[in-house]
Chain A
Amino acid sequence: NAGVTQTPKFRILKIGQSMTLQCTQDMNHNYMYWYRQDPGMGLKLIYYSVGAGITDKGEVPNGYNVSRSTTEDFPLRLELAAPSQTSVYFCATTTSGGLGLKQETQYFGPGTRLLVL
């Protein structure tokens, strides 16, 4: 049981290039999230998904796109990289297990460090 895995661990991009950050989970969780963390700041939500085929914007979605074709995978796409997208990107998952509105904790991947020059 690997939990949440992210690739790559580190990447340098030139301005205007594109790339996809990969996130895979093996916990069969229905909810998945992408956050970014800038130095000295807390995490901010980029996009999230409540299940395969369903995605929605978070607080800072501009410049990013996502898709969720399977329960396991939730890739984040940067189409035209900009210096403002230099950050550490974390993928997280949770499940709505339990009775009523009881929620589970969020499990985080190890992160992808992205530098845009």
Chain B
Amino acid sequence: KQEVTQIPAALSVPEGENLVLNCSFTDSAIYNLQWFRQDPGKGLTSLLLIQSSQREQTSGRLNASLDKSSGRSTLYIAASQPGDSATYLCAVSGSNYKLTFGKGTLLTVNP
């Protein structure tokens, strides 16, 4: 059974700092890995999707990497801003694109 772990569970940083969120998964037979953002009381917004054959994806200040053989992914956020404060969820896609989620990292960026 696929299990996804996210570390740390919570992170508080001052504005402007670069930061890394970590995600690990136990079964390397995945189709893709996705990073989502969730604001309090809201749904999930997709940030980045990395196909299993890819090593990284970038969108603006966000960069996600994937090392499928070791079961690890990182989400790098450059020059963090208070508006980045949210919960970040990592999910891996298996058969029929079903997602297995981690519990998330609660990020707080302080002005």
Q: Do the two shown chains form a genuine complex with each other? A: yes
Residues of A with Cβ closer than 8 Å to B? Answer: 31, 33, 35, 40-45, 48, 50, 56, 58, 90, 92, 94, 96, 101-111
Q: Which of B14-22, B43-51, B68-76 contacts A (4 or more CB under 8 A)?
A: B43-51
User: Is B7 interfacial (CB-CB < 8 Å)?
Assistant: no
Cβ of B97 and Cβ of A102 under 8 Å apart?
A: no
Chain A proximity of B92: nearest CB distance (Å) = 11
A105 to B103, CA, bound (A): 19
Interface centre among B43, B89, B91, B102, by most chain A C-beta atoms within 10 angstroms, is B43
A33 to B4, CA, bound (A): 19
A110 to B38, CA, bound (A): 10
In addition to A94-B97, A103-B32, 5 A-B residue pairs with Cβ atoms within 8 Å of each other are A42-B91, A43-B44, A92-B99, A106-B34, A106-B46
Chain A proximity of B105: nearest CB distance (Å) = 11
A35 to B104, CA, bound (A): 15
A102 to B31, CA, bound (A): 8
Chain A proximity of B60: nearest CB distance (Å) = 16
A104 to B32, CA, bound (A): 9
A90 to B91, CA, bound (A): 15
Q: A48-B96, A101-B31, A105-B49 are in contact. Are A42 and B102 (CB under 8 A)?
A: yes
Contact of B101 among A31, A43, A50, A105 (CB under 8 A): A43
A42 to B96, CA, bound (A): 19
A94 to B31, CA, bound (A): 13
16 contacts between A and B (CB under 8 A): A31-B96, A33-B99, A35-B101, A42-B101, A42-B104, A50-B96, A90-B44, A92-B99, A103-B31, A103-B93, A103-B97, A104-B49, A105-B34, A106-B34, A110-B42, A111-B42
